[in-house]
């Protein structure tokens, strides 16, 4: 079946582009002697995670316990939880999963560590953890110079073992030029170096220095202090990465296929793709470079100026050959949230549908037991 015969809206994944994106990042890691542990919140798909492993990924960074559970059940190992886990129900779930596969925890404070250690003691188990370092996003994490202060406190909890540090320079999504991406990359590298030196000079063993963001990946890949890279967005890229010049339009693998359903004015199309497919997302950290709500692939003359839930408004900025009934592919502003809108993505090669890929890890996989 050709993709233009599909119903609209449909979520499409160009499998050739996906493969090229996965291979390019993996190759750079191999050439620079780094391990790739992709962040999987972008695709939330065991199929794509397995592809990443097949190409050489050594582990995965997950945003949720659901992701950890699905990947472990699919036979994947080396799962690092990106954020602290502190509620009792969540701690119990993670401890149960840790009996099946290696799970690495992440902490940025003593309280979460103490709660976890209490539960681990009951089961006579030990788990490894990373200290989260704040490199400028000002979300989670301790300042680089405070890393050994926290390590000293957590080392009182004998069922937790420190193995390294991690950071995420998400502030890069607020910049407006390549020069500023370099500056954030420098902040990322320097923060990790200070934190590592601080821990080593206080006699802590640090075997993992991990970081990740797609925009800074291409700068910090050569940093000899870092040994694990954890970008997430690079399998799909999107309009945000395009606006930052991190990728080219022909590297964006995920699109939403839509049909032009009306032309109410000479300069306006309506398409059957709305916010329930594309989201209203302009980036988690306030990108000033994004004006519209996605980019129509191969049609620079069109601007998506507004989205209702099921339809979108497209301004015809200059002459176009498109008309009512024609199909268009829209590159979402943020592919990670776009992929989370659907149960499945349609994989194609050379415009021919090849494969249905389940987004099998979205949502909440464990329903509460009400009895």
Q: Give the closest residue to 234 by CA, choosing from 34, 12, 37, 35.
A: 37
Q: Rank residues 211 and 329 by Cβ distance to ligand PLP and give the closer one.
A: 211
Binding range to ligand PLP, per CB under 6 A, among 65-73, 108-116, 226-234, 289-297: 226-234
Q: Taking the complex as a whole, how short is the minimal distance between the CB of residue 234 and ligand PLP, in angstroms?
A: 6
Tell me the C-alpha to C-alpha distance, in Å, between residue 227 and each of 46, 148, 165.
25, 20, 11
Q: Taking the complex as a whole, how short is the minimal distance between the CB of residue 168 and ligand PLP, in angstroms?
A: 4
Q: Rank residues 10 and 239 by Cβ distance to ligand PLP and give the closer one.
A: 239
Structure tokens, 283 = 């980036």
Structure tokens, 351 = 């415009």
- Over the window 32 to 61, marking each residue x when it contacts ligand PLP by CB under 6 A and - when it does not, the resulting string is -------x---------------------x
Q: Rank residues 214 and 253 by Cβ distance to ligand PLP and give the closer one.
A: 214
Q: Rank residues 211 and 259 by Cβ distance to ligand PLP and give the closer one.
A: 211
Footprint of ligand PLP on 61-80 (CB under 6 A): 61
Binding range to ligand PLP, per CB under 6 A, among 26-34, 87-95, 224-232, 258-266: 224-232
Q: Rank residues 252 and 257 by Cβ distance to ligand PLP and give the closer one.
A: 252
Q: Rank residues 251 and 303 by Cβ distance to ligand PLP and give the closer one.
A: 251
Structure tokens, 52 = 């990443």
Q: Taking the complex as a whole, how short is the minimal distance between the CB of residue 268 and ligand PLP, in angstroms?
A: 33
Footprint of ligand PLP on 230-259 (CB under 6 A): 230-233
Q: Taking the complex as a whole, how short is the minimal distance between the CB of residue 301 and ligand PLP, in angstroms?
A: 30
Q: Taking the complex as a whole, how short is the minimal distance between the CB of residue 76 and ligand PLP, in angstroms?
A: 17
Structure tokens, 158 = 């004998």
Are 239 and 331 spatial neighbours (Cβ–Cβ below 8 Å)? Answer: yes
Structure tokens, 139 = 């979300």
DSSP code per residue over 151-207: HHHHTT-TTEEEEEEEE--GGGGG--SHHHHHHHHHHHHHHHHHHHHHHHHTT----
Q: Taking the complex as a whole, how short is the minimal distance between the CB of residue 284 and ligand PLP, in angstroms?
A: 7
Q: Rank residues 43 and 295 by Cβ distance to ligand PLP and give the closer one.
A: 43
Strands, E, within the chain: which ranges? 10-14, 35-36, 60-62, 79-81, 103-107, 127-132, 160-167, 208-211, 228-229, 254-265, 268-271, 295-296, 302-307, 312-316, 327-331, 344-349, 352-358
Are 84 and 166 spatial neighbours (Cβ–Cβ below 8 Å)? Answer: no
Question: Applying CB under 6 A, what is the total number of residues that bind ligand PLP?
Answer: 11
* Residues with Cβ within 8 Å of residue 302, at least 6 apart in sequence: 269, 296, 314, 315, 316, 317, 320, 322, 328
Q: Taking the complex as a whole, how short is the minimal distance between the CB of residue 292 and ligand PLP, in angstroms?
A: 21
Interface with ligand PLP (CB under 6 A), residue from 49, 82, 120, 256: 82
Binding range to ligand PLP, per CB under 6 A, among 144-152, 181-189, 228-236, 356-364: 228-236
Cis peptide, bond prior to residue 64, ω within 30 of zero = no
Q: Rank residues 173 and 348 by Cβ distance to ligand PLP and give the closer one.
A: 173
Q: Rank residues 296 and 338 by Cβ distance to ligand PLP and give the closer one.
A: 338
Q: Rank residues 232 and 347 by Cβ distance to ligand PLP and give the closer one.
A: 232
Structure tokens, 289 = 């470079």
Q: Taking the complex as a whole, how short is the minimal distance between the CB of residue 139 and ligand PLP, in angstroms?
A: 8
- Over the window 164 to 193, marking each residue x when it contacts ligand PLP by CB under 6 A and - when it does not, the resulting string is ----x-------------------------
Number of residues written out for the chain: 371
Q: Taking the complex as a whole, how short is the minimal distance between the CB of residue 21 and ligand PLP, in angstroms?
A: 12
Residue 253 CA to residue 56 CA, distance in Å, equals: 20
Cα dihedral 233→45→101→95 (10° resolution): 90
Identify the helix (H) or strand (E) that includes residue 361: none
Would you tell me which residues interact with ligand PLP (CB under 6 A)? 39, 61, 82, 168, 212-214, 230-233
């Amino acid at each position: 079946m050709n993709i233009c015969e599909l119903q609209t809206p449909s979520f499409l994944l160009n499998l050739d582009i996906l493969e090229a994106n996965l291979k390019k990042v993996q190759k750079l890691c191999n050439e620079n002697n780094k391990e790739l542990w992709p962040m999987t919140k972008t695709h939330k798909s065991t199929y794509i995670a397995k592809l990443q492993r097949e190409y050489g990924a050594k582990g995965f960074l997950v945003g949720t316990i659901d992701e950890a559970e699905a990947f472990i059940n699919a036979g994947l190992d080396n799962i690092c939880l990106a954020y602290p886990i502190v509620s009792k129900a969540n701690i119990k779930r993670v401890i149960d999963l840790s009996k099946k596969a290696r799970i690495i925890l992440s902490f940025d404070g003593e309280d979460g560590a103490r709660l976890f250690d209490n539960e681990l003691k009951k089961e006579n188990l030990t788990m490894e953890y990373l200290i989260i370092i704040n490199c400028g996003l000002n979300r989670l994490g301790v300042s680089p110079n405070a890393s050994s202060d926290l390590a000293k406190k957590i080392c009182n909890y004998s069922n937790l073992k420190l193995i390294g540090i991690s950071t995420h320079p998400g502030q890069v999504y607020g910049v407006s030029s390549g020069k500023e991406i370099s500056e954030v990359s420098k902040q990322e590298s320097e923060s990790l170096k200070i934190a590592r030196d601080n821990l080593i000079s206080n006699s802590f063993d640090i075997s993992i220095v991990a970081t990740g963001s797609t925009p800074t990946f291409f700068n910090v890949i050569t940093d000899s202090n870092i040994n694990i890279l954890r970008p997430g967005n690079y399998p799909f890229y999107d309009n945000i990465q395009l606006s930052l010049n991190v990728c080219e339009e022909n590297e964006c693998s995920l699109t939403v296929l839509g049909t032009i359903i009306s032309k109410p004015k000479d300069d306006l199309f309506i398409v059957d793709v709305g916010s329930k497919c594309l989201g209203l997302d302009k980036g988690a950290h306030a990108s000033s470079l994004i004006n519209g709500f996605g980019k129509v692939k191969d049609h620079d003359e069109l601007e998506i100026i507004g989205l209702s839930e099921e339809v979108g408004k497209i301004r015809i900025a200059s002459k176009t050959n498109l008309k009512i009934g024609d199909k268009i592919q829209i590159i979402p502003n943020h592919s990670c949230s776009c992929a989370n809108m659907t149960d499945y993505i349609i994989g194609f090669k050379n415009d021919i549908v090849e494969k249905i890929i389940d987004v099998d890890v979205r949502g909440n996989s464990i329903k509460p037991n009400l009895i």
